Chain A
């Protein structure tokens, strides 16, 4: 990949190099995909002037956001600031809630997501939820579900078992479940269930993976496992994570967006946002004065 040379591998101690790399990622102006040079990281998703309403209540005010490919973007902010609302518009999950209205534009690889077939869109953008939500099926069938309903070649050509194994390996849960693939998914622990849900989302090979507070129901050990997993995943996938845990955002993400009362207050490379925030409200939040 051309852009991988621009940014060194993630390294917590080398804050400087990480910072420069992330700045290139995020501070780049939105340009049409055709005019990119080898040094620039391509944008996976662009959000332009997004307003969102629940009935008459306005939940998002003119949000602009660029999500770089193969990076982890964190959405942080206090409860009710609209970060979950925002992430749910990316794969149009907000449409499952009645009485919502959206204005503005969301582009995936330059294409309007609202002009696409929603089934195809959600195959390209996977989602992992706050609480593990495996289906009441076997572990195998949980992972195979996406392949089956989308009628993917793997499901037809009998390579289903390989595809399931591959996804479980990518989600770092294979070793724990390989001997019990046909047991109910409910037999697993909460952390294993959450990684199973990640495997389920990965099975259809999405370009983007949205994680809506994926660790909020998990203990620190399982949280660490999932965070480690995210580093590996970003090689092939663009990740967006909603979290109310600032340490987590600081640990895992390349870029962070701070939202407050439905407004995007600040969007910068993560090291920058956590060390020298430019907005006083961001500073107040990350230093723990509210939220």
Chain B
């Protein structure tokens, strides 16, 4: 009797403790970043270029703009491919082809990001012999494809078949049905998935190391190496200067903040309902 009760109490506390650890990791990271980098997140950080080595101050404006440009390219490449692929999986196709596509997408989702980087390097950087914004955006876009594809499929499947029938019964073609009824009905879910995918690749460093490479200055156009927050954090964190370390912490805080804000906004949108409620 006593033995049984103590095992019960022990296991209960153990599971509770592990749950607490899981939750507190995020808050610990956030607190640690604020502690080390909070002071350096100032106006200069968002508006100034990095100062030459040895000089104090400066910011990471180029990395913030760089990350934005990379993410824009990634979205332009990854979202349409993932979206249309997801439409194919949910609405067309027989049995064998969707199975292969779905399986491949899941495998692609599990490919280490550094391997995606090498792939983009071989495909985009090698032929033109220099790093570029375009190559970095392509690498991030490839990482977005499986996420957008699988979630688009899920959200389209959640649209009631009765809506499709209603449109078809009015004489709408299959494509017209999908574009004018099914996709709008699932649009909020798909938008959410796209933003989450974007937030996910925003923090990727490995695929950018030998595609976008990095840059201490502004990078006009799309054909030159470009700075990004994750690569900047990597470079500054392993650098030998105290000032760099503090700026790396600040960049980490900004990056995490952006990702967190995106997540919270998106989840609020999502909680308002994804598919039309049934009468």
B168 at the interface (CB under 8 A from A): yes
A129 close to B276 (CB less than 8 A): no
Q: A145-B180, A186-B279, A217-B279 are in contact. Are A135 and B167 (CB under 8 A)?
A: yes
Other-chain contact of B276, A91, A126, A186, A201 (Cβ < 8 Å): A186
Q: A136-B185, A193-B279 are in contact. Are A126 and B169 (CB under 8 A)?
A: yes
The docked-state distance in angstroms from the alpha carbon of A54 to that of B267 is 42
A14 at the interface (CB under 8 A from B): no
Give chain A residues whose Cβ lies under 8 Å from the Cβ of B185: 135-136
A135 close to B163 (CB less than 8 A): yes
Give chain B residues whose Cβ lies under 8 Å from the Cβ of A186: 276-277, 279
Task: Identify the stretch in A5-13, A40-48, A115-123 within 8 Å (CB) of chain B at 4 or more residues.
Answer: A115-123
Give chain B residues whose Cβ lies under 8 Å from the Cβ of A217: 279
**A27 CB → nearest B CB, Å:** 31
Measured CB to CB, the nearest residue on chain A to B94 is A98
**B190 CB → nearest A CB, Å:** 14
B51 at the interface (CB under 8 A from A): no
A182 at the interface (CB under 8 A from B): no
B165 close to A133 (CB less than 8 A): yes
**B34 CB → nearest A CB, Å:** 42
Give chain A residues whose Cβ lies under 8 Å from the Cβ of B266: none
A129 close to B181 (CB less than 8 A): no
A127 at the interface (CB under 8 A from B): yes
Q: A120-B171, A133-B165, A135-B166 are in contact. Are A149 and B277 (CB under 8 A)?
A: no
- In the complex, the number of residue pairs spanning A and B with C-beta atoms less than 8 Å apart equals 77
**A171 CB → nearest B CB, Å:** 14
Give chain A residues whose Cβ lies under 8 Å from the Cβ of B166: 129, 133-135, 197, 200
Q: Mark B125-169, 1 if CB is under 8 A from A, else 0.
A: 000000000000000000000000000000000001011111111
Give chain A residues whose Cβ lies under 8 Å from the Cβ of B172: 119, 145, 149
The docked-state distance in angstroms from the alpha carbon of A135 to that of B162 is 9
**B222 CB → nearest A CB, Å:** 38
A149 close to B276 (CB less than 8 A): no
Measured CB to CB, the nearest residue on chain A to B162 is A133
The docked-state distance in angstroms from the alpha carbon of A129 to that of B162 is 8
B167, B168, B279: residue with the most chain A Cβ atoms closer than 10 Å: B279
Give chain A residues whose Cβ lies under 8 Å from the Cβ of B31: none
The docked-state distance in angstroms from the alpha carbon of A127 to that of B163 is 13
Measured CB to CB, the nearest residue on chain A to B181 is A135
A150 at the interface (CB under 8 A from B): yes
* Chain A 142-200 residues near chain B, CB threshold 8 A: 145-146, 149-150, 186, 189-190, 193, 197, 200
A136 close to B276 (CB less than 8 A): yes
B160 close to A133 (CB less than 8 A): yes
A190 close to B184 (CB less than 8 A): no
Measured CB to CB, the nearest residue on chain A to B164 is A96
Measured CB to CB, the nearest residue on chain B to A186 is B276
A204 at the interface (CB under 8 A from B): yes
Other-chain contact of A119, B162, B173, B276, B279 (Cβ < 8 Å): B173
The docked-state distance in angstroms from the alpha carbon of A152 to that of B20 is 62
Give chain A residues whose Cβ lies under 8 Å from the Cβ of B180: 145, 149
A127 close to B169 (CB less than 8 A): yes
Give chain A residues whose Cβ lies under 8 Å from the Cβ of B278: 131
The docked-state distance in angstroms from the alpha carbon of A177 to that of B184 is 23
A96, A120, A126, A193: residue with the most chain B Cβ atoms closer than 10 Å: A96
Give chain B residues whose Cβ lies under 8 Å from the Cβ of A232: none
* Chain A 98-137 residues near chain B, CB threshold 8 A: 118-123, 126-127, 129, 131-137
B176 at the interface (CB under 8 A from A): yes
Give chain A residues whose Cβ lies under 8 Å from the Cβ of B279: 131-132, 186, 189-190, 193, 217
The docked-state distance in angstroms from the alpha carbon of A145 to that of B176 is 11
Measured CB to CB, the nearest residue on chain A to B187 is A136
The docked-state distance in angstroms from the alpha carbon of A92 to that of B60 is 62
A93 close to B168 (CB less than 8 A): yes
Q: A136-B184, A186-B277, A217-B279 are in contact. Are A119 and B171 (CB under 8 A)?
A: yes
B167 close to A145 (CB less than 8 A): yes
B170 at the interface (CB under 8 A from A): yes
Measured CB to CB, the nearest residue on chain B to A194 is B279
B169 close to A93 (CB less than 8 A): yes
Q: A186-B276, A186-B277 are in contact. Are A91 and B184 (CB under 8 A)?
A: no
Apart from A93-B165, A149-B170: 17 A-B pairs, beta carbons within 8 A: A91-B169, A93-B169, A96-B165, A122-B170, A127-B165, A127-B169, A129-B166, A129-B169, A134-B166, A135-B163, A135-B181, A136-B181, A145-B167, A150-B171, A186-B277, A201-B170, A204-B171
A/B interface sample: 30 pairs, CB < 8 A: A93-B165, A93-B169, A96-B164, A96-B165, A119-B171, A119-B172, A119-B173, A121-B171, A122-B171, A123-B171, A127-B165, A129-B162, A131-B162, A132-B279, A133-B163, A135-B163, A135-B181, A135-B184, A136-B163, A137-B184, A145-B170, A145-B172, A146-B170, A149-B176, A149-B180, A150-B171, A193-B279, A201-B169, A201-B170, A204-B171
